[in-house]
Amino acid sequence: MSTVPQPDPKNRPARLTVGVVGAGRVGPALAASLQLAGHRPVAVSGVSDASVRRAAQLLPDVPLVTPAQVMERAELVLLTVPDDALPGLVEGLAETGAVRPGQLLVHTSGRYGAKVLEPALRAGALPLALHPAMTFTGTPVDVQRLAGCSFGVTAPEELRLAAEALVIEMGGEPEWIAEEARPLYHAALALGANHLVTLVAESMELLRTAGVEAPDRMLGPLLGAALDNALRSGDAALTGPVARGDAGTVAAHVTELRKHAPETVPGYLAMARATADRALAHGLLKPELAEDLLGVLADGVLADGTDGTEGDAR
């Protein structure tokens, strides 16, 4: 049973007709979630075969129409298009007269706040920025995952209660983000989530190269524990050769990566330097061990010119 608090009835938006412009992974899932809360999806637009399939799976019997027709039919319109396409879409909808006064216009971009909807605001729309801090698969499981998901919310003060109520109705937790902080907020999420996928994928490839038959099974418990520890303890959760100051081990890593996966070396070195800085700042890495380590991270070898592989039994 969901523990998400429900909005006060006086702050709940009226039951609305809902439209989706851009049937990517996000829009149909949010519309399906709003449908569970009593709203009524009436129109969705999408061009690619994948978009058509997603719309049919998550919003069955909802007609697939043009963006202009979505705007015409819906009181609440979800603009779920890529970030770079959003400003042009909003301007185009406003210039063609597709925006109606009093229409709730919601975008789900993490990068932008409500200001990107200004052309629609001038046409009388009510602008909301509701960004779900979650990765989407484009399948029904996304609707379930919205329970407890944080949303970055930005809207005019007079629409704040409506924005937060919509998020809560979708099972989410509203987190107010100031307009000027949206790019930093989005960068933080990308750093943590998007780069994590890259790191895990690279780790799995390297384990396969090392002969591990089931890298996912090996990494699952390790990464789960590391994530849990990091969320609970922050930098105090740092472990491994960089935090310990094991310069020889790090040099050996660099040597092997250069042999087997040279494209991973820049990323390894950059993350190791960032880890060393944080470990030093929090007293985990002893200063007397840091010099050799930082030297390895600068040129990939120990101070004595070796690569750290000789005599390394660990």
Tell me how far CA of residue 281 lies from CA of 91, 236, 271, 272, 298, in angstroms.
47, 11, 15, 14, 19
DSSP character string of 160-220: HHHHHHHHHHTT-EEEE--GGGHHHHHHHHIIIIIHHHHHHHHHHHHHHHTT-S-HHHHHH
The pLDDT of residue 299 is 73
* Phi then psi dihedrals of residue 130, to 5 deg: -125, 100
Is residue 6's pLDDT more than 90?
no
pLDDT category at 300 given cuts 50, 70, 90 is low
Q: How far apart are CA 189 and CA 124, in angstroms?
A: 32
Q: How far apart are CA 82 and CA 22, in angstroms?
A: 9
Q: How does the average pLDDT of the chain come out, rounded?
A: 91
Match 């970055």 to its residue by tokens. 152
- Work out the average pLDDT over 85-104: 97
User: Shortest CA distance to 199 belongs to which of 133, 274, 146?
Assistant: 274
- Three-state DSSP class for residue 129: strand
The pLDDT of residue 302 is 56
Is residue 252's pLDDT more than 80?
yes
- Three-state DSSP class for residue 7: coil
Q: Percent of the chain beyond pLDDT 70?
A: 91
Q: pLDDT tens, 132-147? A: 999 999 999 999 999 9
The pLDDT of residue 305 is 56
Is residue 14's pLDDT more than 90?
no
- Work out the average pLDDT over 258-285: 95
Half-sphere exposure at residue 217, Cβ-oriented, CA atoms within 13 angstroms: 3
Is residue 22's pLDDT more than 70?
yes
CB 147 within 8 A of CB 4: yes
The pLDDT of residue 2 is 45
What single letter denotes the amino acid at residue 231? L
Q: pLDDT tens, 36-76? A: 999 999 999 998 999 999 999 999 999 999 999 999 999 99
Q: pLDDT tens, 161-178? A: 999 999 999 999 999 999
* Helix and strand numbers, DSSP H then E, in the chain: 14, 7
User: Shortest CA distance to 218 belongs to which of 200, 233, 198, 241?
Assistant: 200
The pLDDT of residue 257 is 96
CB 163 within 8 A of CB 153: yes
The pLDDT of residue 312 is 44
Record the pTM. 0.85
The pLDDT of residue 76 is 98
- Cβ neighbours for 36, distance < 8 A, ≥ 6 positions apart: 143
The pLDDT of residue 4 is 46
First-to-last alpha carbon distance for the chain, in angstroms, is 48
Q: What is the dihedral of CA 72, 14, 24, 197, to 10 degrees?
A: 160
